[in-house]
Amino acid sequence: MHSSPSQPLLKAVLWDMDGTLVDTEPYWIAAESAMVEAHGGTWSHGQAMQLVGQSLVHSAGILQRAGVRLEAREIIDTLSAQVIAQVRKEVPWRPGARELLDELHQAGIRCALVTMSEGPLAGVVVESLPKPYFEFKVTGDTVRNGKPHPEAYLTAVERLKLDDPSLTIDHCVALEDSVPGATAAIASGVVTVGIPHQVPLPADRRMIVWETLVGKSVDDVNELVLNRVSGQDATDSANNVGSSDDAGLLEGAN
């Protein structure tokens, strides 16, 4: 990997949590199913997939429409408590995530967690890590607008700038697994990598798709930043996409 002093390098990686760093979606789905069934309803896999990557307030509204007769705050607190209990028993790390996180840390690349889960759950996950990999967390209870709105990512970039005014959107890479999350990251302007998990990610030339984080290195992430700076279309390079017809599909899919 070669770069000139004038070329900005990778400075920060913004990590989604549920589905990207940890595979907590089965915990959420089990908690949702139990809640809906307790109120006399049924909860299908398709309904559960509608909630992947969404803000908890949005998810609470869908559960209410499925028959859950609770206030949104009570739904959020109940689901979160059940997921936290499961995470305390076992943290289901996604393949390759901890390895890449550790390599980024050793290389001095700043990392932040950008998740729609609230502070208590994010705290349990972060505290289970062996090192202080994450400089800070932007959680669903600290922003006004949840994903797919870009507020969470824009907030993270602004916080990073406090210690490094030279940092820009182009220095940052976001890792996401869901349509709402990828849509939020793309809208913020950061380089966006989609790692599909529970749901497929539609083709979008503004997003690089990696099937897994296994084997991915600092050099791989840094290359995406260098490609943007050099004017090369990183998505064309990484995805081998040759037509502009695929652009913008994430917006339509959400």
pLDDT in tens, 161-178: 999 999 999 999 999 999
Other Cβ atoms within 10 Å of 165 Cβ, number: 8
Question: pLDDT, tens digit, for every residue of 47-88?
Answer: 988 888 678 888 999 999 999 999 999 999 999 999 999 999
Least confident stretch, 35-44, 127-136, 186-195: 35-44
Q: Which residues of 236-252 are buried (b: 16+ CB within 10 A; e: fewer)?
A: eebbebeeeebeebbee
pLDDT of 27 above 90: yes
Is the CB of residue 21 less than 8 Å from the CB of residue 93? yes
Tell the residue number behind the tokens 């760093």, with chain if given. Answer: 21
Q: How far apart are CA 40 and CA 57, in angstroms?
A: 22
DSSP 84-146: HHHHHH---BPTTHHHHHHHHHHTT-EEEEE-SS-HHHHHHHHHTSSS---SEEE-GGG-SS-
Whether pLDDT at 10 is above 80: yes
Q: In a 10 Å sphere around its CB, with 0-12 CB exposed, 13-18 middle and 19+ buried, how is residue 7 labelled?
A: exposed
Q: Taking residues 221-243, what's their average pLDDT?
A: 66
Is residue 4 over pLDDT 50?
Answer: no
Residue with tokens 């507020």: 151
Do residues 237 and 163 touch, judged by C-beta distance below 8 A?
no
Residue with tokens 């800070």: 136
Task: Specify the pTM.
Answer: 0.84
More confident residue, 236 or 44: 44
Q: Residues in the chain, how many?
A: 254
- Of 160 and 51, the structure prediction assigns the larger pLDDT to 160
pLDDT attached to residue 8: 54
Give residue 254's pLDDT.
41
Least confident span in 4-8, 66-70, 79-83, 117-121 = 4-8
Tell me: pLDDT of 6 over 70.
Answer: no
Nearest CA among 176, 201, 151, 212 for reference residue 19: 176
> Mean pLDDT across the chain, nearest whole number?
88
Predicted pLDDT of residue 248? 54
Lowest mean pLDDT among 9-23, 66-80, 138-152, 228-242: 228-242
pLDDT of residue 232: 56
Residue 13's CB is within 10 A of a number of other CB atoms, namely 22
